[in-house]
Chain A
Amino acid sequence: GEDVEQSLFLSVREGDSSVINCTYTDSSSTYLYWYKQEPGAGLQLLTYIFSNMDMKQDQRLTVLLNKKDKHLSLRIADTQTGDSAIYFCAEVGGSQGNLIFGKGTKLSVKP
């Protein structure tokens, strides 16, 4: 079945860049997503990338997609303490078109 893998933790200093990596298995997924979850809150759609793109930039966020290796990454430039959260990578899969999530990467930003 479909599977999405992420590293569980990432710690950076304020002002540095953060790179969160993800690998997925379903090559037919049309879109791939990054969601952000702050403590005790629901998911917020951060950004997404269409599968025929290699890169998408949106202000401080850069998404890179390597379809050959089924690897997705999210780069946050000039990371701030407000970026501390759990970041979920997701692909569309399952028989219902639901999202398949990774376990989430907890980003800690130190001042």
Chain B
Amino acid sequence: GAVVSQHPSRVICKSGTSVKIECRSLDFQATTMFWYRQFPKQSLMLMATSNEGSKATYEQGVEKDKFLINHASLTLSTLTVTSAHPEDSSFYICSASWRGGPFQETQYFGPGTRLLVL
């Protein structure tokens, strides 16, 4: 149980275009979804937290107008990288958790999306 999917798994785009990444919880209702970014050989850094039906909370230094997050339902959150540039190339990973039950703090991760901006 607790499966999280991401789509696409890999995307290559031209500089200046926008890319949308989807994160879905397949067998549970995710009250909270997190978006992380991972640069090569580094740890994950939190970009933003989204709760269903409310605006995302962004970490310091993350531009909310550049990384648009929508958490429209309890099973879907999207991250749109607008006007992507080569420095946005990275591995983007989402995770999902839910309230209630004994493991409410546990986050389950998607497989990640590798973005390459040319």
Residues of A within 8 A of B (CB): 30-31, 33, 35, 40-45, 48, 88, 92, 94-99, 101-104
Count the A-B residue pairs with Cβ separation under 8 angstroms: how many?
A: 56
Instruction: Write the chain B residue with the least CB distance to A6.
Output: B43
Which of A31, A42, A44 sits near B105, CB closer than 8 Å?
A31
| Chain A residues whose C-beta falls within 8 Å of the C-beta of B67 in the assembled complex | none
For residue B51, give the distance in angstroms from its CB to the closest CB of chain A. Answer: 9
A27 to B40 alpha-carbon distance, docked (Å): 29
Q: Is A97 within 8 A of B32, CB to CB?
A: yes
| Chain B residues whose C-beta falls within 8 Å of the C-beta of A92 in the assembled complex | 105
Known A33-B106, A42-B93, A43-B109: A96·B46 in contact at CB below 8 Å: yes
9 residue pairs of the A-B complex, CB under 8 angstroms, read A42-B6, A42-B111, A45-B108, A88-B43, A96-B32, A96-B57, A99-B46, A103-B42, A103-B43
For residue B112, give the distance in angstroms from its CB to the closest CB of chain A. Answer: 4
Q: Is B114 within 8 A of A35, CB to CB?
A: no
Interface size class of B (residues with CB under 8 A): 20 to 34
Q: Is B106 within 8 A of A104, CB to CB?
A: no
A96 to B60 alpha-carbon distance, docked (Å): 13
Q: Is A48 within 8 A of B57, CB to CB?
A: no
Instruction: Write the chain A residue with the least CB distance to B4.
Output: A42
Most buried by B among A42, A94, A102, A104: A42
Which 6 A-B pairs rank lowest in CB-CB distance, beginning with the nearest?
A: A42-B112, A96-B49, A42-B111, A43-B109, A101-B43, A103-B43
For residue B46, give the distance in angstroms from its CB to the closest CB of chain A. Answer: 5
Q: Is A96 within 8 A of B34, CB to CB?
A: yes
Instruction: Write the chain A residue with the least CB distance to B110.
Output: A42
A97 to B99 alpha-carbon distance, docked (Å): 12
| Chain B residues whose C-beta falls within 8 Å of the C-beta of A104 in the assembled complex | 43
Per-residue contact bits, chain B 45-64, to A (CB 8 Å; 1 contact, 0 not): 01001000000010000000
Whether B70 sits at the interface, judged by CB under 8 Å, is no
Whether B107 sits at the interface, judged by CB under 8 Å, is yes
